[in-house]
């Protein structure tokens, strides 16, 4: 019987047998839960030669098939990097703003003592409070730098074109001065009318508002720019009011009915922590300071 069975097995053709097997029907009859329950995973893992298995893996070929760009994109790493960089940049900018606000507070405290005024109670947060002369001077310097740089680049470009095509130079004092004045006016009026602050003021964290704290309208923006010219023409005396006026309003602020306040957007404007604690101890309180709102 054994020899007969052996001959039968020898004469069986596996390919022919498998071609007659309905694999789908066979798999449907397999109870996977029961099959997995009978597998001893620990014994199976013990029989696996991990080193031999790793040796048979073609790492270079495997890496060639990996879509690294898609993998990085799905991991969300680019968004994390961008967000981290934005937070870092915001922290650096806020650090500079905080120091400027601190210098304003120190200077304002000195002027208050000099004029024997009642010191205002203030907290670390100064959002909406009147901006001091240090912050305002820094913002003005930045805006002047932006205007001068833009004008210089633009003038050089226009001069190159006119010289190349018509042999004319536009680098003459009067036309250049007029062009600079027009650029400065359009820059200041445009940004104030649309955004309520110029780019330099935005970097420092300042905003021009109505004297009652509301949003300025284009007419006030126009008066602010025109009044700024008067502040400059009067040998800069119009800016002296920022130091001594309680609300730190310059001549052009009084003309336009505006004020300049601290505004850092979504983040609160703050004084440096040690300075805030010092002022709280010597000025008697943690309540809010003199803001622009009624």
| 270 to 5, 25, 99: CA distances (angstroms) | 93, 74, 9
pLDDT at 268 over 50: yes
Q: Which two tokens stand for residue 182?
A: 């027009």
pLDDT at 28: 75
Count Cβ atoms within 10 A of the Cβ of residue 143 and give its class: 0-12 exposed, 13-18 middle, 19 or more buried: buried
d(CA 204, CA 185): 21
Q: What percent of the chain has pLDDT over 90?
A: 46
Q: Which two tokens stand for residue 256?
A: 């336009």
Eight-class DSSP state of 1: -
pLDDT at 232: 93
pLDDT at 43 over 60: yes
Tell me if the pTM is above 0.75.
Answer: no
pLDDT at 79: 65
pLDDT at 85: 60
The pLDDT mean for the chain works out to: 83
Tell me the mean pLDDT in the region 18-42. 74
C-alpha angle with apex 126: 123 to 132, nearest 5 degrees? 115
d(CA 70, CA 81): 16
* φ, ψ dihedrals at 185, nearest 5°: -65, -50
pLDDT at 288 over 50: no
Q: What are the counts of helices (DSSP H) followed by strands (DSSP E) for the chain?
A: 16, 2
Q: Which two tokens stand for residue 242?
A: 């920022």
Q: Which two tokens stand for residue 156?
A: 């050089």
Q: How far is CA 138 from the centre of its chain?
A: 20
Token match 């109670």: residue?
A: 121
Identify which of 260, 270, 17 has the alpha carbon closest to the alpha carbon of residue 136: 260
Question: 163 or 261: whose pLDDT is higher?
Answer: 261
pLDDT at 4: 57
pLDDT tens for each residue of 200-245: 999 999 999 999 999 999 999 999 999 999 999 998 899 999 999 9
pLDDT at 283 over 80: no
pLDDT tens for each residue of 64-113: 777 777 766 666 656 665 565 656 566 889 999 999 999 999 999 899 88
Contact yes or no for 232/281 (Cβ under 8 A): no
């Amino acid at each position: 019987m054994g020899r007969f069975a052996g001959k039968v097995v020898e004469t069986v053709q596996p390919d022919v047998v498998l071609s007659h097997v309905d694999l789908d029907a066979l798999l449907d009859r397999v109870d996977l839960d029961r099959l997995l329950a009978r597998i001893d995973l620990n014994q199976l893992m013990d029989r696996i030669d991990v080193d031999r298995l790793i040796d048979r893996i073609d790492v270079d070929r495997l890496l060639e098939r990996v879509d690294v760009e898609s993998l990085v994109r799905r991991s969300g790493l680019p968004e994390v990097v961008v967000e981290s960089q934005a937070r870092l940049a915001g922290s650096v900018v806020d650090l500079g703003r905080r120091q400027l606000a601190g210098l304003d507070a120190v200077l304002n405290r000195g002027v208050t003592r000099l004029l024997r005024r009642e010191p205002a109670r203030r907290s670390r947060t100064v959002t909406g409070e009147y901006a001091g002369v240090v912050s305002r001077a820094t913002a003005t310097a930045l805006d002047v730098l932006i205007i001068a740089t833009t004008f210089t680049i633009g003038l050089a470009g226009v001069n190159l074109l006119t010289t190349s095509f018509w042999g004319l130079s536009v680098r003459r004092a009067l036309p250049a001065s007029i062009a600079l004045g027009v650029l400065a006016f359009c820059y200041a009026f445009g940004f104030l009318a649309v955004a309520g602050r110029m780019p330099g003021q935005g970097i420092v964290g300042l905003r021009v508002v109505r004297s009652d704290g509301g949003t300025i309208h284009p007419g006030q923006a126009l008066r602010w720019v025109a009044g700024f010219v008067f502040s400059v023409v009067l040998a800069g005396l119009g800016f002296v009011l920022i130091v001594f006026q309680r609300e730190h309003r310059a001549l052009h602020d009084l003309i336009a009915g505006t004020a300049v306040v601290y505004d850092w957007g979504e983040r609160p404007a703050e004084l440096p922590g040690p300075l805030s604690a010092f002022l709280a101890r010597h000025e008697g309180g943690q309540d809010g300071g003199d803001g622009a709102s009624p």
